[in-house]
């Protein structure tokens, strides 16, 4: 069974925790060549559709959120305060996710992956509708929190990905995680930028719809809601349960039901399997003396020991307090903080007027730029990330990818300088923007590599909780980062700290710390290589 290792006693071990898909090992001894297992494409498609809901609901608001905040009147006409309130909106999503993600993982380890995964996109769909219909700042905060709560089960989808793969194909499967984010980065900004203010953009068609006149941001939110609901429907119909304990319980129930029916036939004296069981004066005819003896004769093709699948108990808390896992979580926190700070600064800096230190771009142009970038990024991740991780290893890929953040953050003051000098977005600004987005493409490889390292270091029977903790750490940083970055951006402009570049210098310093910490990541023990 893909994604689970079989012990000598026949029992199955959840996860791929000891696998090594990397080049982070001693090259002095030859690699054993193992044929790669085909990816379970249908199940991966379903999981990817659920994961797709996270970037869509998280990022669809980015092209218009600053204007949405201003429209609520909370800034009272002071454009410089926009960063504070926009940062709150962006942060509460990940704060709510952080507070619920471990609980989702805990529930999935006990009651199964599928029921937990179904709740997420359904709740997201409803919350996005409420967000688009909001008219006040605090209603925006409320619905943004609900989006974060229902998105808290995103860690469960990563557990399923690990459980349906093995050491030979896990790199390709987890390459889809940043790919889904990249596709979301493509689709969400286009939806947010192009579909906002539809009544003004298409007055002869959509302009006749009353709700779009009074709620100019409802259409992009409703579109995101529809995509999340589609993910729910697909998962409800075709997603299979992967939790070993839940699968074992299902098999055991089916086995007992079949044994009961066959035993009834034996007692009535006309079962065709009587000769297989043998004549026995005992009233149960030997059919249910033991579960093990029955399965080998009566039920060929069934798991001979399904009860072993449900015997594993979740590990205690101390099982997660090991150095390799803690170092991995710490690096995940730094990655999430710096990358999310960059994501929050990009539309904020792009939309701020040139005299105040931005580029003065409107939501349509911001959405178009981010959409084209996301489309190119998705193609690169889908076609090359799995191969790169298999060749160089997740640790090496992570270190190189994270270092690219230094160039991304360093591009902001350079673009600001050229925009102020020219008084517009000229060719020099465009060149720096292309360089920034090119290096930002590499950052997504860090997320795919990080997910594999988390799986490698997870304790047995605790994959769901481990992914939950990892997602909680990431969500906490993502909740914290937009407020910090946006507030520092506003303070830098209001007080002209370091020429308005103080926020960039602070984040560049954090990135240097992250580069140093990435070198401390443990190398995986050598195992099977693809």
pLDDT class of 251 with cuts at 50, 70, 90: low
Question: What does the mean pLDDT of the chain come to?
Answer: 77
Of 52, 65, 47, 129, nearest to 343 by C-alpha is 65
pLDDT of 20: 55
93-144 residue pLDDT tens: 878 888 888 788 778 877 788 888 899 899 999 999 999 999 889 999 999 9
Distance CA 190, CA 363 (A): 10
457-462 mean pLDDT = 70
Q: Which residue has the higher pLDDT, 362 or 514?
A: 514
332-354 mean pLDDT = 89
Please tell me whether residue 13 adopts helix, strand or coil conformation. strand
The mean-pLDDT minimum among 193-197, 286-290, 327-331, 383-387 falls in 286-290
pLDDT of 245: 56
Distances (CA, A) of 116 to 137, 251, 445, 477: 30, 20, 27, 23
Using only the alpha carbons of the chain, give its radius of gyration.
26
Task: Tell me: pLDDT of 478 over 70.
Answer: yes
Residues 33, 401 contacting (CB under 8 angstroms): no
Task: Tell me: pLDDT of 304 over 50.
Answer: no
430-443 mean pLDDT = 90
Task: Tell me: pLDDT of 493 over 90.
Answer: no
Distance CA 391, CA 371 (A): 30
Residues 458, 13 contacting (CB under 8 angstroms): no
201-213 residue pLDDT tens: 888 888 888 999 8
Q: What are phi and psi of 240, to 5 degrees?
A: -100, 150
pLDDT class of 319 with cuts at 50, 70, 90: low
Give the DSSP H/E element, type plus range, for residue 395.
helix 394-422
The two structure tokens encoding residue 469:
């903790």
Distance CA 390, CA 445 (A): 12
Task: Tell me: pLDDT of 479 over 50.
Answer: yes
Task: Catalogue all structural domains in the chain, each as residue range(s) with its CATH number.
Answer: 41-242+314-518 (1.20.1250.20), 251-310 (no CATH)
Q: Which residue has the higher pLDDT, 314 or 359?
A: 359
Residue partners of 359: CB distance under 8 A and separation at least 6: 349, 350, 351, 352, 415, 419, 425, 429
pLDDT of 258: 61
Model pTM? 0.66
The mean-pLDDT minimum among 259-268, 393-402, 468-477, 488-497 falls in 259-268
């Amino acid at each position: 069974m893909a994604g689970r290792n079989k012990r000598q006693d026949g029992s199955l071990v959840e996860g791929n925790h000891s696998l090594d898909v990397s080049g982070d090992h001693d090259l002095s001894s030859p690699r054993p060549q193992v044929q790669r297992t085909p990816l379970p494409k249908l199940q991966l498609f379903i999981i990817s559709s659920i994961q797709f809901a996270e970037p869509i609901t998280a990022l669809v608001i980015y092209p218009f959120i600053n204007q949405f905040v201003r429209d609520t009147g909370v800034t009272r006409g002071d454009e410089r305060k926009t960063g504070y309130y926009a940062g709150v909106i962006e942060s509460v999503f990940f704060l709510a996710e952080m507070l619920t993600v471990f609980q989702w993982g805990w529930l999935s380890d006990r009651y199964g992956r599928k029921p937990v995964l179904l709740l997420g996109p359904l709740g997201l769909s409803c919350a996005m509708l409420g967000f688009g219909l909001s008219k006040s700042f605090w209603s925006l905060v409320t619905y943004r929190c609900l989006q974060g709560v229902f998105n808290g089960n995103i860690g469960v989808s990563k557990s399923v990905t690990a459980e349906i793969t093995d050491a030979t194909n896990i790199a390709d499967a987890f390459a889809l995680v940043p790919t889904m984010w990249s596709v979301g980065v493509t689709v969400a900004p286009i939806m947010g930028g192009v579909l906002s203010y539809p009544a003004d953009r298409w007055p002869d068609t959509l302009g006749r719809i009353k709700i779009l006149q009074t709620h100019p941001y409802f259409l992009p939110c409703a579109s995101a809601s529809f995509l999340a609901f589609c993910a729910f429907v697909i998962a409800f119909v075709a997603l299979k349960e992967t939790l070993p304990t839940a699968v074992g319980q299902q098999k055991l129930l089916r086995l007992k039901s079949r044994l009961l029916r066959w035993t009834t036939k034996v007692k009535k004296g006309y079962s065709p399997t009587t000769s297989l069981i043998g004549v026995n004066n005992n009233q149960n005819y030997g059919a249910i003396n033991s579960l093990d003896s029955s399965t080998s004769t009566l039920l060929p093709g069934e798991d001979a020991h399904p009860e072993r699948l449900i015997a594993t108990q979740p590990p205690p808390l101390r099982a997660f307090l090991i150095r390799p896992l803690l170092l991995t979580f710490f690096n995940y926190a730094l990655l999430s903080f710096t990358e999310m700070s960059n994501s929050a600064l990009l539309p904020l800096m792009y939309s701020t007027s040139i005299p105040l230190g931005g580029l003065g771009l409107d939501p349509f142009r911001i959405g178009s730029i981010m959409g084209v970038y996301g489309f190119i990024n998705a193609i690169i991740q889908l076609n090359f990330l799995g191969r790169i991780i298999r060749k160089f290893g997740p640790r090496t890929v992570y270190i190189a990818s994270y270092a690219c953040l230094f160039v991304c953050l360093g591009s902001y003051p350079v673009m600001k300088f050229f925009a102020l000098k020219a008084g517009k977005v000229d060719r020099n600004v465009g060149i720096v923007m292309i360089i920034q987005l090119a290096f930002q493409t590499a950052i997504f490889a860090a997320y795919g590599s990080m997910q594999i390292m988390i799986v490698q270091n997870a304790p047995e029977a605790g994959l769901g909780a481990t992914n939950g903790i990892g997602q909680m750490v990431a969500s906490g940083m993502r909740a914290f980062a937009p407020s910090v970055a946006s507030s520092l951006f506003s303070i830098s402009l209001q007080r002209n700290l370091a020429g308005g570049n103080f926020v960039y210098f602070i984040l560049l310093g954090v990135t240097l710390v992250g580069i140093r910490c990435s070198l401390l990541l443990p190398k995986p023990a050598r195992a099977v290589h693809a």
